[in-house]
């Protein structure tokens, strides 16, 4: 065997957990629905039928899964023998299918789909990252614990920290997950990239949003000091989520995490401006109180002593009533109001004839004429 071919074979074995010189028949794929003895009684057609039944059930919640019926039609193929293009196409289909299934994995129909993928495509071996991205939001469930026992994580550095839980089956509690994330920021980035893909696809995933926020909050509590590297690991997901306010669960998860970061670390000035700009677009009326709270925290806790021009124009265009309705009752809004009134007056003086300038003047007047605001913040409004 040529040296090049030998190296390729060794790399293939390492990637897919095949021992050197192994000629033994591989163990059957794991099951999340059946015991080993029960699984042996089902043939390939039965697993395909089960998966198609699952797709029909999940389709009532997520219609886009219907196109993946093709994964379970026709004869089974040996993945080791697929051409590169065919293998890449299959990996792409499985990846997207699991992204769509993830929000619904507590539904039995979605578990039937996963069962079909495990049997037909051995995703526990070939698509490990995709399976765990789908299932990590359910890390403390019996389903995840059972699935973990069958995952081939050997030779996968990213997932070696799960090996003790696989060797001696136990629930992956959030404290354990957060403790590991505090040591390895790459895991936080993996979770963030999963959330970003969901946001880009415009797919709601409440389990993932809750998981993202909870893991970040627990991780921040684990570390004694927050480095710029740790803060930067959260920012891509936060900034993307704040551009998607209609994705309510992920939007509020992002607000929760950035609020926690604001209390613990000084963010880069360019990041502060981006966050205020994003929050200003949503700080309108009662539904905008979470965004209003973020602006208050940024002006209170960060080295930010002025409202950025873009945010100012956005708030002025919405008008004083919308902003006042978005102010949180349980936070001191004094810094925000001081900076806002000052910025509005200066902008109005510099741009008296422009529409923006007139809107800024109206916003300043509206804030100063509001009796409740003046009573609460008289020292800074006079």
CB atoms within 10 A of CB 114: 25
* Residue 12 pLDDT: 60
Mean pLDDT across the chain: 92
* Residue 380 pLDDT: 47
Comparison of pLDDT for 346 and 14, the residue scoring more: 346
Distance CA 115, CA 131 (A): 12
pLDDT at 17 over 60: no
Query: Quick one: which of 140, 149, 240 has its CA closest to 198?
Result: 240
Distance CA 39, CA 34 (A): 6
What are the pLDDT digits (tens) for 212-228?
Answer: 999 999 999 999 889 99
pLDDT at 27 over 80: no
pLDDT at 23 over 50: no
Total-model pTM: 0.89
377 pLDDT band (50/70/90 cuts)?
confident
373 pLDDT band (50/70/90 cuts)?
confident
Among 179-183, 191-195, 369-373, the least confident range? 369-373
14 pLDDT band (50/70/90 cuts)?
low
Tokens for 84, please give them: 């590169």
DSSP-derived letter for residue 162 is G
* Residue 45 pLDDT: 93
Tell me the mean pLDDT in the region 322-332.
93
What are the pLDDT digits (tens) for 34-92?
Answer: 988 888 888 899 999 999 999 999 999 999 999 999 999 999 989 999 999 999 999 99
pLDDT at 123 over 60: yes
pLDDT at 360 over 50: yes
Q: How far is CA 82 from CA 52, 53, 86, in A?
A: 23, 27, 6
Query: Quick one: which of 254, 249, 257 has its CA closest to 204?
Result: 249
What are the pLDDT digits (tens) for 79-101?
Answer: 999 999 999 999 999 999 999 99
CB 168 within 8 A of CB 161: no
Distance CA 273, CA 308 (A): 6
Please state, for a pLDDT cut of 70, what percent of the chain lies above it: 92
Tell me the mean pLDDT in the region 158-168.
95
What's the CA dihedral at 370, 373, 376, 378 to 10 degrees?
-70
């Amino acid at each position: 065997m040529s040296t090049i071919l030998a190296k390729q074979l060794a790399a293939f074995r390492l990637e897919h957990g095949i021992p050197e010189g192994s000629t033994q028949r591989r163990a059957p794929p794991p099951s999340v629905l059946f015991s080993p003895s029960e699984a042996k009684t089902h043939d390939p057609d039965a697993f395909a039928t089960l998966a198609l039944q699952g797709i029909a059930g999940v389709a009532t919640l997520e219609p886009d899964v219907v196109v993946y019926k093709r994964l379970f039609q026709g004869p089974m193929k040996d993945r080791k023998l697929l051409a590169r293009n065919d293998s890449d196409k299959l990996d792409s289909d499985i990846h997207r299918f699991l992204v769509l299934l993830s929000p619904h994995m507590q539904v039995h129909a979605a578990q039937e789909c996963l069962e079909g993928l495990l049997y037909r495509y051995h995703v526990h071996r070939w698509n490990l990252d995709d399976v765990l991205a789908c299932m990590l939001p359910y890390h403390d469930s019996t389903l995840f614990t059972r699935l973990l026992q069958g995952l081939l994580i050997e030779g996968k550095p990213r997932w070696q920290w799960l090996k003790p839980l696989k060797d001696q089956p136990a629930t992956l509690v959030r404290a354990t997950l957060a403790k590991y994330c505090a040591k390895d920021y790459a895991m936080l980035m993996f979770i963030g990239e999963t959330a970003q893909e969901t946001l880009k696809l415009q797919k709601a995933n409440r389990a993932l949003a809750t998981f993202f926020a909870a893991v970040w909050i627990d991780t921040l509590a684990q570390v004694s000091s927050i480095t710029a590297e740790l803060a930067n690991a959260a920012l891509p997901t936060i900034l993307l989520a704040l551009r998607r306010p209609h994705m309510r669960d992920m939007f509020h998860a992002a607000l929760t995490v950035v609020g926690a970061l604001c209390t613990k670390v000084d963010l880069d000035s360019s990041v502060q401006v981006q966050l205020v700009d994003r929050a200003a677009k949503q700080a309108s009326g009662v539904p905008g109180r979470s965004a209003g709270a973020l602006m208050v925290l940024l002006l209170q806790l960060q080295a930010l002593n002025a409202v950025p021009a873009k945010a100012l124009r956005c708030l002025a265009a919405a008008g004083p009533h919308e902003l006042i309705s978005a102010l949180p009752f349980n936070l001191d809004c004094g810094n925000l109001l001081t900076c806002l009134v000052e910025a509005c007056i200066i902008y109005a003086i510099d741009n008296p004839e422009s529409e923006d300038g007139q809107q800024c003047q109206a916003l300043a007047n509206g804030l100063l004429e509001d009796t409740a605001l003046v009573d609460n913040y008289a020292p800074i409004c006079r």
